[in-house]
Amino acid sequence: MSEVTATIERFRNLLSLQEAREMSLMASHWLEVERNIQAHIDRLVNEVNFRLQQGEPVNITRVMQLEQYQDMIRQLRMEVIRYNQWATGIISDAQAQAARFGIANSNEIITANYTDRNMVAASFRRLPFEAVEYMVGNASDGSPLNRLLMESYPESVTRLTQTLINSTALGVNPRETAKRMVDDMSGNFQSALTTARTEQNRVFREASTQAAKESGVVDGWIWRAALSGNTCEACLASDGTRHDTNEALDDHPNGRCFKQWIVKDLPPLQVQSGETWFRNQGADEQRRILGPGKYEAWRDGLVSFDQFAQVKQSSRWGNSIQTAPLQSLLN
Query: What's the pLDDT at 317?
Result: 61
101/235 same-domain check: no
Q: Residue 235 pLDDT > 80, yes or no?
A: yes
Pairing outcome for strands 218-224 and 258-263: antiparallel
Range of the domain at 38: 3-216
Please give the model's pTM, rounded to 2 decimal places. 0.83
301/225 same-domain check: yes
- Write down which residue in 216, 233, 267 finishes a domain: 216
90/127 same-domain check: yes
57/124 same-domain check: yes
Secondary structure letter of residue 65 according to DSSP: H
- Write down which residue in 187, 216, 245 finishes a domain: 216
Helix axes 3-53, 153-169, angle to 10 degrees: 40
Percent of the chain exceeding pLDDT 90 equals 60
208/98 same-domain check: yes
Query: What's the pLDDT at 315?
Result: 62
What are the residues facing 4 on neighbouring strands? none
Q: Work out the average pLDDT over 241-268.
A: 87
Q: CB-side exposure of 184: number of CA atoms within 13 Å?
A: 23
> Sorting pLDDT into bands at 50, 70 and 90, what band is 163?
very high
120/237 same-domain check: no
* Other CB atoms within 10 Å distance of the CB of residue 113: 26
Q: Work out the average pLDDT over 239-247.
A: 91
227/172 same-domain check: no
Residue-wise pLDDT tens digits, 12-71: 999 999 999 999 999 999 999 999 999 999 999 999 999 988 888 888 888 999 999 999
Q: CB-side exposure of 118: number of CA atoms within 13 Å?
A: 0
Q: Residue 96 pLDDT > 70, yes or no?
A: yes
What mean pLDDT value characterizes the chain?
Answer: 90
189/72 same-domain check: yes
Measured torsion, CA atoms of residues 306, 310, 311, 317, in degrees rounded to the nearest 10 = -110
246/207 same-domain check: no
Buried/exposed 171-197: b ≥16 CB within 10 Å, e otherwise: ebebeebbbbbbebbebbbebbbebbb
- Write down which residue in 175, 194, 216 finishes a domain: 216
Decide if 228 contacts 267 (C-beta within 8 A): no
Q: Residue 234 pLDDT > 80, yes or no?
A: yes
146/79 same-domain check: yes
The total domain count for the chain is 2
What are the residues facing 319 on neighbouring strands? 313
199/59 same-domain check: yes
Q: Work out the average pLDDT over 297-324.
A: 82
131/106 same-domain check: yes
